[in-house]
């Protein structure tokens, strides 16, 4: 009985170790051009990308939002800088309120960063303010 369990573990372990990195690379491939989509302000393509990642990998936007940097900025910051209103407001609507008001990597919240940049009149900033 113990030999059978050890044998099953020995056979299954290489497959588990191989599948985890390949799934990570598949997720990276699926999210490869998401920054370009945000900058291009393509709301329908962004919605499609979010849906594909959710259905194929069971990941919500909040799960990978912090890991994606577009020219050193978060996706919402990049949308604000490029005036990508449609994509930016979609991201604001899809992110949990708690995550929108929490500090990002540089220690500043989105709202504080927007105010610091002097972009408070941007439509994305207005949508963010309404959502928070």
105-120 residue pLDDT tens:
888 888 888 888 888 8
Residue 125 scores a pLDDT above 80: yes
Confidence band for 102, pLDDT divided at 50, 70 and 90:
confident
Over residues 94-112, the mean pLDDT reads 85
Is residue 4 domain-shared with residue 59, that is, in the same domain?
Answer: no
Is residue 51 domain-shared with residue 82, that is, in the same domain?
Answer: yes
Is residue 42 domain-shared with residue 86, that is, in the same domain?
Answer: yes
If one counts the domains in the chain, the total is: 2
Residue 17 scores a pLDDT above 60: no
What domain range includes position 3? 1-30
What 74-77 contacts at long range (C-beta under 8 Å, 24+ apart), as own/partner pairs, is 74/104, 74/105, 74/110, 75/34, 75/35, 75/38, 76/110, 76/124, 76/128, 77/104, 77/110, 77/113
Is residue 12 domain-shared with residue 68, that is, in the same domain?
Answer: no
Confidence band for 16, pLDDT divided at 50, 70 and 90:
very low
Is residue 15 domain-shared with residue 45, that is, in the same domain?
Answer: no
Which residue in 84, 82, 81 sits closest to 42, CA to CA? 84
User: What is the per-residue pLDDT for 111?
Assistant: 87
């Amino acid at each position: 009985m113990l030999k059978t369990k050890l044998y099953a573990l020995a056979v299954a372990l290489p497959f588990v170790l191989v599948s985890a990195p390949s799934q990570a690379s598949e997720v990276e491939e699926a999210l490869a051009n998401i920054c370009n989509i945000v900058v291009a302000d393509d709301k329908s393509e962004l919605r499609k990308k979010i849906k594909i990642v959710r259905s194929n990998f069971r990941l919500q936007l909040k799960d990978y939002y912090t890991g994606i940097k577009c020219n050193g900025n978060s996706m919402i910051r990049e949308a604000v800088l490029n005036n990508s209103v449609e994509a930016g407001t979609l991201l604001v609507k899809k992110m949990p309120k708690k995550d929108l008001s929490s500090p990002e990597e540089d220690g500043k919240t989105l709202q504080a960063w927007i105010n610091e940049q002097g972009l408070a009149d941007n439509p994305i900033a207005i949508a963010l303010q309404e959502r928070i």
